[in-house]
A and B are shown apart, each in its own frame.
Chain A
Amino acid sequence: MSRDLDIKVHHLTRVEGHGNIVVNMKDGVLEKAHLSIVEPPRFFEAMMKGRSFHEAAIITSRICGICSLGHQLTSLVATEDALGLEISEQTVLLRKLLIHGATLQSNILHAYFLAAPDFLNVGSVFPLIATHKDVVLRALRMKRLANDIGDIVSGRAVHPITPVPGGFSRIPEKAELLEIKRRLLEEALPDGLETIETMKALAGAIPQFERETEYISLKHPDEYALYEGDIFSSDTGALSVHNYLDVTNEFIVNHSTSKHAKYNRSSYFVGALARWNNNHAQLGEEAHAAAEAMGLKPNCFNPYMNTIAQVVEAVHCILDSVRIIDRLMEMGLKNEKPNQTPTRYGRGIGSNEVPRGILFHDYTYDNKGNIIKANCIIPTGQNLANIDDDMMKLVPEIINKTKEEITLNLEMLVRAYDPCISCSVHMLEVDFIE
């Protein structure tokens, strides 16, 4: 069918940085299909230059309100790598607990507040509050517990930040951790199981679209990698995070001020689906049962299933948090002081899996412990080329649908990746009733 199609979705907000979807088809030939990002110029290096190693993680945690913990922990890992700071097993376990909390929170909110309204075709989360109040309250209950894990372990409610280079400036109390464990088992686990039922009921509305791509995530020898590991490509296998620039190969495109990334193909996928495809064998029985119930299979090439992979991870995070707390209790909490005596000065790389995918921080320190060079590559930047490639394949496949249906399919595709594109500003815009 030869058809002209011209789609422009402007996600207008008062702030630069929201994504616009642009599709252009002429006489049945697809000329353009991409997500155009208008992001502020890269400010990261300028912001970090001259800062001491004590400050780096605090500043990076403020880059984005939703991704703050991921930036904070990845920054700490980069600093410790650069300065040769060894950390204890207790520190590693507490950080893993923090990552689980943040992943649980983000994945659950994404599934309920962004994906579910799409699957129910109601436009946004607001109509759901009237029709499915219990479901919205369940989502908020899980968010609250995830938040409380952050408060207790990272001390956010009291002091801004207790995770510091070399460890923690305050160790949580035994009773606080045991209370979290109780809530994980008594509240979050039943809520997680209900979530699987809800998503199972909605899974039929997930568009059937497949495009095999390269899946990149961390890989850890002993566990489902969220905190540290090697970089792993589904095409070519593992390499050290120290070689991350060989993977990200950032390049500039005309339609976006955010750089794109490619490795072995024209694009690659990062995020929950990449983690699932690369590391599903390391998940426990319950997570596998959840995946099976919701129709997620190993080697899934449908990007819309990213949301389902997130729900599977939420189940994993709940149960693994319980295991971590058990291990901490077994070891006995020690009131350790952070190790902040550098054994070298130079370059260090940190990489963790944050909810939206693999994140890199790269710092070079001078011999006074101040940053002279800094780089940060966020998951969304790495996914942009992949989203464009998805759109180029998707549009011709659904070209017989109405323009509105095509637009919705494209918006749902972008939402499935949950891009971080308007970091840092949530300014209120108001009209007064005269």
Chain B
Amino acid sequence: MKPDSSRNRIIPVLTILIAIVAVWYVAAYFMNAPFQRDLDRRANVTSTTMEFIGKTMAQPKPILPAPHQVVSNVFENTFLRSVTSNRSLVYHSWVTLSSTVVGFTMGTLTGILIAVGIVHLKALDRSLMPWIIASQTVPILAVAPMVIVVLGAINITGLLPKALISTYLSFFPVAVGMVKGLRSPELIQLDLMRTYYASGAQTFWKLRVPASIPFLFTSMKVAIAASLVGAIVGELPTGAVAGIGSKLLAGAYYSQTIDIWAALIAGSVLAALLVTIVGIIAKIVDRSMGGRPA
């Protein structure tokens, strides 16, 4: 890796970030200006342009909160509150994170099992794959409430139903990726195993599994992001009391737009963090499997 490559990456990303923030501020002004004008007129206040712009950026329930409002909300609710507080974003993130991780783990295991089955049994290859693909065309927003309600009816509540929605979303990329990965050994590598009279299990463990590892991590990166979406979606229909999803919903109920955006930021940070962690593990595993340093 070239020593300046991290700088080469940071500058373009920062440029885009600055552009986004600039556009956001302009948009915030225009979105909030009509309401502010209304307020001013009713209160018979006349203000200079600068004062007016300032006010559009300081409304308690703006249509589009300005970036600094969101940032200060995130900061307050992340660092200035006890993590057990109902207002703490750390607390809500933790609730969502735990069901994401549980769902992701179950989804990854399910995906791997399905892939192993599909690769080894022709019948499963023919019968299962269309169903798996069909399963992902069902809108998750329609399925999630049913899952939660049905499981609630048999007294399964709390983390598990949400995790199951994460599982539902995350098994798919893993299954598809692993089918590809387990089938990735070249003919010549399989022939080699045949000349050794290797058993099916030996071929599986010594060839197919190691060959599939890069595919596993690529699909796990997609799966963990999908799991987070699943967990958040799972929190929406239940009127869940905690989690990023419930925070979004509560914000929507009470028009706490700043809270909504703060929750969104928390969700994005969480997603970035999770994907990065999977990426780091992938890199470590790749190194230990003799990967060529990029």
A and B associate: no
Residues of B within 8 A of A (CB): none
